[in-house]
A and B are shown apart, each in its own frame.
Chain A
Amino acid sequence: MLRFLITKFAQMIPTFFGITVLSFAFIRLLPGDPATLLAGERGVTPERHAELMALLGFDKPIWQQYLLYVADVLQGDLGNSLVTRQPVLEEFFTLFPATLELSICAMIFATVLGLPAGIIAAVKRGSWFDHTLMGSALTGYSMPIFWWALILIILFSTPPLSWTPVSGRIDILYFFDQPTGFMLIDSLLSGEKGAFWSALSHLVLPTIVLGTIPLAVIARQTRSAMLEVLSEDYVRTARAKGLAPSRVIGLHALRNALIPVITVIGLLVGTLLGGAILTETIFAWPGIGKWMVDSISRRDYPSVQGGLLLIAGIVMIVNITVELLYGLINPRIRYRR
């Protein structure tokens, strides 16, 4: 276990450097630069521009800038945002709970619906339910997020229904401390009447939009894993014990089928953070997705570099956690290590 963790973290080191190089190069390849964008529409004289760039340290040769940047990162300093002057690390973790809350809700939505749907489809393979589910999964998987969000907004957020709000995390009426950063929890803690419902209703559409692709992937993966497992000898043994079908399917078969399902859930975390960028932009959700988009459009070099690095780090940690989870579910893996 300890050896496993050490090798995994050792493998992260080259990835880490790769990402610093990529993020560093990516943002500089975009046309425009922070000094021009900071000056805004008034424009800036070439002298003033050079002066600003020197002030920000962007006049040095590019390799020097990179080495300085990496040296800072290794000391745990991701620099300050050019726009707000706040440390990038601080900004990231102030906004991260909003993204995390949305991502968790989307994942719960996808799993709670996808797992049972996949199981039922496998058990009743060839039925109308199976065909409908697989058809919708394919549609859900290939639907452009942006378009899907617009459809949902038109259906549910405009008259005559007008069920859900379309922007932000909570009504501006409410104002309270946010000790956890999770709006659902904080609104409950605040004790303000209606705050929780407001937070919840703001979450509904973004959750559905962000959760649709994971839902489709989970349902399909669950179905195919269950189909494979249901014809295994040990499932027959379980039935030969006289166990109820619910136990045969829900325990003996599902436990084995979960291994590939958890793998795709782990892989989905990367996709999810990508989806969050779009979803947060559409619903003006104040998380890191929206923050990244804003930072890119302002050419806020430190924010973009730091943000990408942190997101990559989170994805890698999630993947390691998933691998650890396998061991809990599948003893064959646990003992092979």
Chain B
Amino acid sequence: MSLLEIRNLSVDFQTAHGLFRAVDSVDLDIAKGELVAIVGESGSGKSVSMLALMGLLPWTAKVTADCLAFDGRDLLTMAPRERRKIIGKDMAMIFQEPMTSLNPCFTVGFQITESLKTHLGGSRAEHRRRAIELLELVGIPAPETRLSAFPHQMSGGMNQRVMIAIAIACNPRLLIADEPTTALDVTIQAQILELLVELQRERDMALVLITHDLGVVAETAERVTVQYAGQQVEKQPVESLFDDPHHPYTAALLAALPERATSKRLPSIAGVVPGQLDRPGGCLFNPRCGFATERCRQEVPVLNRGALCHYPLSRGVPQGHPEHQGEDA
């Protein structure tokens, strides 16, 4: 049985312009100790889908799912009190913005031990010892002295390490890392990623890594789902995804990787992810897709060879596309 089972998860926001579907029937299965990546550009609903899983969305969000189960227990029908026993203990999350994610009014030590106190009980001395241990584990030098530091006295990288320490304090079985390195310097980014992957391997902890950097995915993940405008457009094991992407969006993301660029200039995908007010009909990717046909503008595609596309690619050739008839796969 998988550790996490998500079936048909959707999130609608109440906004001034009516309902906005930020996440549209997402499925995800994660086994014990597995590393899965979610990629997609800004605004594709990566954060919202994981916040929905954690129960952290604001009240304007309406979350629906056929199944949202952690370790066989349905999170949606569970009493809030029961759910809080899982959140922060067995299932933890770290966020995009380390500088604002820690409470400026409390010391690092307080914020780490708070989790321990809430979920594990034990004495103050034990909490302190464990907090020092955790800071050491996430690579913070002189952990004893850091306990009494406030977040604003440390760098973004250090704050993110503290966030990781808080998240892994109770030995979670699933850690969701939401673009944990986006706000950090390039050199620090690699260190933090390395730390997360190391923790995942050593502690048999499942890790969901949200990123918009496919390069990161290549180095770390086993499986990857590609998300676009709230929908999962493609799911594949990492190796075959890099080898033979089926969805034109994935292919475009890959083509934009520096090491794959054929010309001197990096090809980037023209346009942006459609927001609430500019969602097209038919396939949501059609305004930016090089293969779009009239059919794409009219008809919503269904999953086709693992890609949400009328003409899934095979070795770069859109299958069944009217203009590419007879080309070899």
Contact = CB atoms under 8 A, between A and B. Distances in A.
Contact of A244 (B84, B93, B103): B84
Nearest to A238: B103
Nearest to A334: B150
Given A237-B95, A240-B93, A331 B84 contact: no
A234 interface: yes
A240 B172 CA distance: 12
B85 A242 contact: yes
A329 B104 CA distance: 10
B322 to A, nearest CB: 48
A232 interface: yes
A234 B86 contact: no
Contacts of A255: 103, 105-106
A233 interface: yes
Given A335-B150, A335-B153, A242 B86 contact: yes
A43 to B, nearest CB: 67
Contact of B150 (A236, A242, A332): A332
Contact of B87 (A233, A240, A330): A240
Interface in A225-273: 231-234, 236-244, 252, 255-256
A243 B118 contact: yes
B145 to A, nearest CB: 15
Contacts of B102: 234, 237
Given A242-B87, A244-B84, A236 B95 contact: yes
- Which of A238, A244, A256 is the most central at the interface, judged by chain B CB atoms within 10 Å of its CB? A238
Contact of B54 (A240, A329, A335): A240
A238 to B, nearest CB: 7
A237 B56 CA distance: 9
A241 B95 CA distance: 13
B96 to A, nearest CB: 9
Nearest to A336: B152
B41 interface: no
Q: Is the interface of A mostly helix, strand, loop or mixed?
A: helix
B163 interface: yes
Contacts of A241: 87-88, 114-115, 118, 166
B88 A234 contact: no
Interface residues of B, number: 31
Interface residues of A, number: 21
B103 A243 contact: no
Contacts of A240: 54, 56, 87-88, 92-93
Nearest to B84: A242
B42 interface: no
A335 B153 CA distance: 9
Given A236-B95, A335-B153, A256 B84 contact: no
Contacts of B152: 331-332, 335
Contacts of B88: 240-243
Contacts of A232: 100
B136 interface: no
B105 A330 contact: yes
A234 B104 contact: yes
B303 to A, nearest CB: 32
Interface in A322-337: 329-332, 335
Nearest to B97: A233
Interface in B6-56: 54-56
A255 B104 CA distance: 10
Nearest to B57: A236
A330 B84 CA distance: 28
Contacts of A332: 104, 150, 152
Interface string B148-179: 00101100000000010010000000000000
A80 B194 CA distance: 78
B130 interface: no
A242 B97 CA distance: 19
- Which of A231, A237, A330, A331 is the most central at the interface, judged by chain B CB atoms within 10 Å of its CB? A237
A256 B54 contact: no
Nearest to A256: B105
Interface in B86-143: 86-89, 92-93, 95, 97, 100-107, 114-115, 118-119
A252 B115 CA distance: 13
A33 B62 CA distance: 74
Contacts of B58: 231
B56 A236 contact: yes
A194 B307 CA distance: 84
Nearest to A241: B88
A332 B104 CA distance: 7
Contact of A256 (B56, B103, B119, B163): B103
A234 B97 CA distance: 10
Given A243-B88, A255-B106, A256-B105, A233 B100 contact: yes
A234 B100 contact: yes
Nearest to A231: B58
A252 B88 CA distance: 16
- Which of A234, A238, A244, A255 is the most central at the interface, judged by chain B CB atoms within 10 Å of its CB? A234
Contacts of A237: 95, 101-103, 163, 166
Contacts of B92: 240
B103 A252 contact: yes
Contact of A233 (B85, B101, B115, B166): B101
Contacts of B114: 241, 243
B104 A256 contact: yes
Given A237-B95, A240-B87, A240-B88, 12 more contacts: A237-B163, A241-B114, A242-B85, A242-B86, A242-B87, A242-B119, A243-B114, A255-B105, A256-B105, A330-B104, A331-B105, A331-B150
Give the 8 A-B residue pairs with the shortest CB-CB distance, closest first.
A242-B88, A241-B88, A234-B103, A242-B87, A233-B100, A242-B84, A331-B150, A255-B105
24 contacts: A232-B100, A233-B95, A233-B97, A234-B101, A234-B103, A234-B104, A236-B56, A236-B95, A236-B101, A237-B103, A237-B166, A239-B55, A239-B56, A240-B56, A241-B114, A241-B115, A242-B84, A242-B89, A252-B103, A252-B106, A256-B104, A331-B104, A331-B152, A332-B152
